[in-house]
Amino acid sequence: MSQVSMPYAAADGLVRVYPAGTDAAPDAAEAAPRSALVWAHGGGFAGGDLGMPEADWVARSLAERGITVVSVDYRHAGHGFRYPVPSDDVLTAWRWTLDHADELGIDPARLAIGGASAGGNLVTGAVLRLLADATTTTTERIRPLPAGVFLAYPTLLDAQPAPDASLRALLDANPEADRSPSYVHDMYENYFGAPVVDAPLDVAPGRAAASDLAEFPPVLMINSEIDHLRVSGEVFADTLAEARVPLELFTEPGALHGHLNRPGERAASDSIERIMRWIARGFIPDAAPTTTPTTLRTTEGLPS
């Protein structure tokens, strides 16, 4: 692995920057601006921190492979804050990263955004807000959108469809992976601070229609197989495909929700390698589509 500099706090403590690793004697190519990822951990909108593996281990793993990561310490819902505060924090971190691209040594045209679980919701909502801003303000029109969006087992619907028979059987066999509809609903109401039925689209992005996603950046979504929240990710993936957004959709076999929080599991390391290949390809789906011209779906693991 490359040598990695120490992470450091920036943006008045809103972010922790993980500089891309470099070899001891970097060549000219390595001195060129790099790809980067603005990253938001999960925690049900109300928990999580920059020290959890989903934040720190993921960021270090990508930095070791040459990707600068800006990890966002957004404020939690239910601690005196509600929507749009966590969403605002993600947008502030995104804009800070763009504004400091030169000093970070990153290429704004190769800057992606991503999040896990509730963090996946926050970054998806942030991109929808950026798209809305771009239609109304000159400032946002001249800022590049994310080059890609990485979503790890995202929660995107406050009221999601029931699992199909195969997922229902997996959840019944693994009750610790199951959550009631009321659990998900309460999580969203805590985030929004009011009945979610009246919430803006960016609170529950899984409600989006294809017309809402016409300009959405390319997406890599990696779900956990044994996960009640997988349904909301798949609903959103179907809408992305309908909107013809370049999409690569994987389901890590045998993984429970939050597998990036368990670095010792193969699913976690496999997901890191999938992210790296997606970035290296310029955020383009990996193979010929199996369902639509822009979508790749698979539950197969990586070769041993």
What pLDDT score was predicted for residue 27? Answer: 40
What pLDDT score was predicted for residue 288? Answer: 44
Q: Which residues are catalytic?
A: 117, 227, 257
What pLDDT score was predicted for residue 102? Answer: 96
Whether residue 232 has pLDDT greater than 80: yes
What pLDDT score was predicted for residue 223? Answer: 98
What pLDDT score was predicted for residue 139? Answer: 55
| Per-domain boundaries in the chain | 8-298
Whether residue 46 has pLDDT greater than 50: yes
The 10 Å Cβ neighbour count of residue 178 is: 18
Burial grade of 98 (CB within 10 A; 0-12, 13-18, 19 or more):
middle
Q: pLDDT digit string (tens) for 156-182?
A: 999 989 999 999 999 999 999 998 899
Whether residue 291 has pLDDT greater than 70: no
| Residue for token pair 């998806």 | 124
Distance in angstroms (rounded) separating the CA atoms of residues 44 and 155: 9
| Residue for token pair 């804050």 | 81
Q: pLDDT digit string (tens) for 202-223?
A: 999 999 999 999 999 999 999 9
Burial grade of 180 (CB within 10 A; 0-12, 13-18, 19 or more):
exposed
Tokens of 156: 């995107």
Averaged pLDDT for residues 283-292: 63
Which of 19-28, 132-141, 155-164 is the most confident on average?
A: 155-164
- The alpha carbon of residue 87 and the mean position of all alpha carbons in its chain are separated, in whole angstroms, by 13
Residue % of the chain over a pLDDT of 70: 88
Distances (CA, A) of 89 to 16, 120, 150, 171: 13, 14, 18, 34
The 10 Å Cβ neighbour count of residue 176 is: 9
What are the φ and ψ backbone dihedral angles of 59, each rounded to 5 degrees? -65, -45
Q: Which of the four pLDDT bands, split at 50, 70 and 90, describes residue 130?
A: very high
Q: What is the mean pLDDT of the chain?
A: 90
Averaged pLDDT for residues 255-265: 98
Distance in angstroms (rounded) separating the CA atoms of residues 19 and 113: 16
Tokens of 294: 């822009």
- CATH number attached to the domain at 8-298: 3.40.50.1820
Q: What is the pTM of this model?
A: 0.91
